[in-house]
Chain A
């Protein structure tokens, strides 16, 4: 049987830099503070979430440690934060460590085990939904 996929929830590319880039929307909480962020989808990031300085300041997050990471410019030591991530469209709700970086990033751990549509023509990033049973 041929597989077909439908398009579920989509998030528009952000165009504050060129070329525009894919994002998803996440609700991040810690203690009694909550923020909605739109991290850039970064398939070169093998973690789950990097949280930008603005969101850290807004949520008054307290670092729970520091770890060494490898960035394009070399190794760097960054703070880590314990945060809860919600994304109702992806049925995501879990506590994880987020690394502190300049900007927020969604990494491969958040994307794995799902099928995504990178629709550059319509400038959107979407979760796909199966529309018929498949044999593959």
Chain B
């Protein structure tokens, strides 16, 4: 489920797309595309954006899932950040994300945190993460 979702983000970012776009742009079989859209919508990964006529729905990636994926970490997070184009722009840095948008970035985690979280309650819709291996990585010896 995550792989086609990440592919959809890589291709369409947060622009709306149709089932036919998955077939045309990503080469998916139409049945596979329909199943993906159905499951991803149920799981909250996609939002049904609008209807064009009776059958042709458009979908958009749900920005709310970025936070969940970042907090889960691991390979899915890495793939998502790469699909969002962050590896090419912010490799080795820390970024603050609100949905798909980078609201701030810094090579120093604490400088970024001072700006984003001036108090413990601030901006609870923003998540901070590292893109790749940070140049100023935190090191714990034990």
Contact = CB atoms under 8 A, between A and B. Distances in A.
A40 B71 CA distance: 26
Contacts of B139: 44-46, 69-71
Contact of A109 (B110, B124, B141): B110
Interface in B58-84: 70-74, 77
Contact of A64 (B77, B118, B128, B132): B128
A70 B140 contact: yes
B140 A42 contact: yes
Interface residues of A, number: 38
B127 A70 contact: no
Interface in A11-57: 29-31, 40, 42-48, 50
Given A71-B141, A75-B133, 15 more contacts: A30-B120, A42-B140, A44-B140, A64-B127, A65-B96, A66-B129, A67-B109, A67-B130, A69-B139, A69-B140, A79-B71, A80-B113, A82-B120, A84-B119, A96-B110
Shortest 4 CB-CB contacts between residues of A and residues of B = A44-B141, A65-B128, A66-B73, A97-B113
Interface of A: 29-31, 40, 42-48, 50, 62-72, 75, 77, 79-80, 82-84, 95-97, 99, 101, 105, 107, 109
